[in-house]
């Protein structure tokens, strides 16, 4: 794996993945989804990766990636972080995904495409998007779907409850659980990024549902932060894999308490406290 295209490169998973790949010396082209879609701490992120010689930035709908032109197609992996799209816009996120898939289908062929989904969509993908998946498969693209629960740690977006609580100190806003947030599980950002890269390097093309090795992680985090939630938000979704989707139980490298403290320290640095 020498070259990677990331759609959603300045969002949570997309940025963390991009930063890790660049650290490993891998060439990355990062596509921004739209100037109208909010990207938390955009300027700070650009300072961290924008000057890297292995990084190229483009906007969705722009021309094909220049550093790919003379390379073997099989060298390339495309990562679409629909996870980030879903948590960044309130309405019609699948229209963005459909546009990206059409863009890929026009410009490339015979490459591996990895799509990062929230766990909510393990059985709920619109027909229009499935049609685009089928078009890609007809053109010999290799499609892999990875379903991911709530992810926490540095750069977590403010749509998530943990980040809202930690931001209270700086922005004086009242935390509110968003209807999109998955409370069934929580995984630290470094752990999920390391796993995604491992799957990127693998020749296997299975679809995966990622779960923490320890149960109740999200609620442990909420308890540590002393969050008060309405009772109707406390139901845990028992997600199970079916068909061709396999479960990966991910062993955490850090406790959720230590991970949240790391997230808090990161925010303090951003706000220079």
Span 101-109, average pLDDT: 78
Residues 6+ apart with CB under 8 A from 236: 183, 184, 216, 219
The arithmetic mean of pLDDT across residues 26-53, rounded, is 85
pLDDT of residue 159: 94
pLDDT of residue 158: 92
Who wins on pLDDT, 98 or 34?
A: 98
Which two structure tokens, joined as six digits, stand for 218?
């999200």
User: Could you tell me which residue, 72 or 8, shows the higher pLDDT?
Assistant: 8
pTM score > 0.85 for this model?
Answer: yes
Residue 152 reports pLDDT greater than 80: yes
- 3-270 CATH fold: Rossmann fold (3.40.50)
Work out the mean pLDDT of the chain and round it to a whole number: 85
Residue 267 has pLDDT above 90, yes or no: yes
Q: Which residue has better confidence, 107 or 198?
A: 198
pLDDT at residue 138, rounded to an integer: 82
Tell me what pLDDT residue 99 has.
82
The packing angle between helices 161-171 and 217-224, to 10°, is: 20
Residue 11 has φ and ψ, to the nearest 5°, of -95, -175
* Predicted local distance difference test score (pLDDT) of residue 137: 81
Residue-level pLDDT at 242: 59
Percent of the chain with pLDDT over 70: 86
Lowest-confidence segment of 32-46, 136-150, 192-206 by average pLDDT = 32-46
Q: Is residue 32 within 8 Å of 14, Cβ to Cβ?
A: no
Radius of gyration, CA atoms only, the chain: 18
Q: What is the pLDDT of residue 231?
A: 40
Is residue 73 scored above 60 in pLDDT? Answer: no
pLDDT at 78: 93
Residue 99 burial by CB count (10 A; 0-12/13-18/19+): exposed, middle or buried? middle
- At 240 the pLDDT is 59
Residue 72 has pLDDT above 70, yes or no: no
Residue 55 CA: distances (Å) to CA of 6, 21, 76, 104, 232:
11, 10, 14, 19, 44
For residue 235, pLDDT beyond 50: no
Parse the chain into domains and list their residue ranges. 3-270
Residue predicted with more confidence, 165 or 60: 165
Give me the mean pLDDT over the 75-86 stretch: 90
pLDDT-wise least confident of 3-17, 61-75, 90-104, 245-259: 61-75
């Amino acid at each position: 794996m020498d070259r990677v295209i990331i759609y959603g490169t300045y969002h949570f998973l997309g940025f963390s993945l991009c930063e890790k790949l660049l650290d490993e010396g891998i060439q990355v082209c990062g596509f921004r989804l739209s100037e109208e879609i909010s990207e938390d701490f955009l300027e700070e992120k650009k300072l961290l990766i924008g000057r890297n010689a292995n990084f190229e930035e483009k906007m969705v709908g722009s021309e094909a990636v220049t550093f790919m032109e003379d390379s073997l197609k099989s060298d390339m992996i495309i990562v679409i972080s629909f996870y980030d799209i879903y948590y960044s816009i309130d309405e019609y996120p699948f229209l963005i995904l459909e546009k990206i898939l059409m863009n890929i289908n026009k410009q490339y062929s015979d490459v591996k495409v990895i799509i990062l989904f929230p766990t909510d969509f393990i059985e709920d993908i619109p027909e229009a998007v499935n049609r685009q998946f089928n078009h890609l498969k007809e053109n010999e693209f290799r499609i892999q779907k990875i379903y991911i629960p709530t992810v926490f740690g540095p750069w977590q977006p403010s749509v998530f409850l943990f980040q809202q609580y930690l931001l209270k100190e700086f922005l004086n806003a009242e935390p509110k659980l968003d209807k999109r947030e998955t409370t069934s599980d929580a995984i630290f950002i470094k752990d999920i990024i390391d796993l995604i890269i491992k799957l990127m390097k693998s020749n296997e093309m299975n679809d995966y549902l990622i779960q923490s090795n320890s149960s109740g992680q999200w609620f442990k985090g909420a308890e540590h932060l002393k969050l008060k939630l309405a009772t109707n938000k406390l139901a845990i979704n028992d997600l199970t894999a079916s068909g061709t989707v396999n479960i990966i139980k991910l062993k955490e490298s850090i406790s959720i308490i230590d991970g949240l403290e790391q997230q808090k320290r990161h925010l303090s640095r951003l706000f220079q406290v």
